[in-house]
Amino acid sequence: MISVLSGGVGAARLLRALRGTLEAKELTAVVNVGDDLVLHGLSICPDLDTISYTLSGLNNEELGWGLKGETWRVMKELGDLGGESWFGLGDRDLATHLYRTQRFSEGATKTQVAQELCAKFGVDIRLLPVTNDVVSTIFSTEIGTLSFQEYFVRHHHGVAVNSISFSGAAAATPTPETIAALTASSRIVIAPSNPLISIEPILQVPGIREILRERHSDVVAVSPIINGAALKGPADRLLNELGHDVSCVGVAKYYQGLVGTFIIDEQDAKHENEIKALGMNVIVTTTIMANPDHAKQLAAAVLS
């Protein structure tokens, strides 16, 4: 079995590629919950939903988030009422959040609801939120303190960030399912997700970083930074603002001590020796998963 520390889009793509090679029971995703929010009274888990929607083939490729064939009647009416409509929730997507909110009110955990939604969407791998507790990623920025979605969606990750914190993380407990999966896995993979806001909140849950440190020779990470830039989102900008090298080397340094093998893109082959000098094995391959053949090649490298 392998476990994959997962954010949203970058992780969903890698999980889809790995599922092409591995049996469902061989694959577990340990998923970030730092982006989760309550809005309009609804419990929303963006990274869990991005993965479920992508693995079920129901994801909206044009938008890069949400469900395909989406309509927006509720948002339109809400906007007309003067309600908060900056965070887009499509009509189909709303059903997911209504379902989750109802189940939470009945006492179900995030882990249980993730499993139920996977079954309903036909997702056959295991998606495990790293914790059932509330962990919230908070940005200290040039315009003040912002919640994750205020930074990411309302301000289009366009304001300068001074620091990032993870409210609730120190007191959170990892789920027993997560600990069991990470302990039993022959290999732990860090997906090509944003290191600072998708992977860090997972590592901040007590016990997780320690497992990776102990098992670092079994840990494989894929760089989300290719040729000095993120394919999508603010990973490059945030690395720069928080004082890291904006390159696959900066990401490798960030994971030093936790990772035994680091996978970089062919475009970054020149950095191979710099990363080896950090005490990691390096695999150079194609890592851009837009092309299914390349995704398959990356999955093979992750499993090699």
- Taking 3-state DSSP, the helix, strand and coil percentages for the chain, each rounded to the nearest 5, stand at 45, 20, 35
Site string for ligand GDP, 202-231 (x = CB under 6 A): --------------------xxx-x---xx
CA angle centred on 268, ends 296 and 232, rounded to 5°: 65
Q: What does the block give as tokens for 4? A: 């994959």
The C-alpha atoms of residue 232 and residue 225 are separated, in whole angstroms, by 10
φ, ψ dihedrals at 52, nearest 5°: -60, -45
3-class SS of residue 293: helix
Confirm if 194 and 151 have CB atoms less than 8 A apart. Answer: no
Q: How far is the CB of 130 from ligand GDP (least distance, A)?
A: 14
Q: What secondary structure does DSSP assign to 27-52, as a single string?
A: EEEEE--TT-EEETTEEE-HHHHHHH
Please report, as residue ranges, which positions from 99 to 128 form the binding site for ligand GDP (by CB under 6 A). none
Of 78 and 274, CB closest to ligand GDP: 274
Interface with ligand GDP (CB under 6 A), residue from 34, 201, 233, 250: 233
Question: Is residue 35 at the binding interface for Ca ion, with CB under 5 A as the rule?
Answer: yes
Q: How far is the CB of 264 from ligand GDP (least distance, A)?
A: 9
Question: Is residue 201 at the binding interface for ligand GDP, with CB under 6 A as the rule?
Answer: no
Q: What does the block give as tokens for 219? A: 């840990």
Of 109 and 286, CB closest to ligand GDP: 286
Q: How far is the CB of 194 from ligand GDP (least distance, A)?
A: 4
Site string for ligand GDP, 263-302 (x = CB under 6 A): ------------------------xxx-------------
The C-alpha atoms of residue 233 and residue 246 are separated, in whole angstroms, by 14
Interface with ligand GDP (CB under 6 A), residue from 36, 47, 70, 200: 47
List residues bridging with 188 in a β-sheet.
3, 219
Question: Is residue 36 at the binding interface for Ca ion, with CB under 5 A as the rule?
Answer: no
**With CB under 6 A, what is the number of residues at the site for ligand GDP?**
25
Q: How far is the CB of 47 from Ca ion (least distance, A)?
A: 4
Q: What does the block give as tokens for 292? A: 């299914």
When CB distances are held under 5 to 8 angstroms depending on the partner's kind, the choice from ligand GDP, Ca ion, none that residue 201 binds is none
Q: How far is the CB of 288 from ligand GDP (least distance, A)?
A: 5
The C-alpha atoms of residue 281 and residue 214 are separated, in whole angstroms, by 17
Sites of contact with ligand GDP (CB under 6 A): 7-11, 13, 47, 50, 191-194, 198, 222-224, 226, 230-233, 235, 287-289
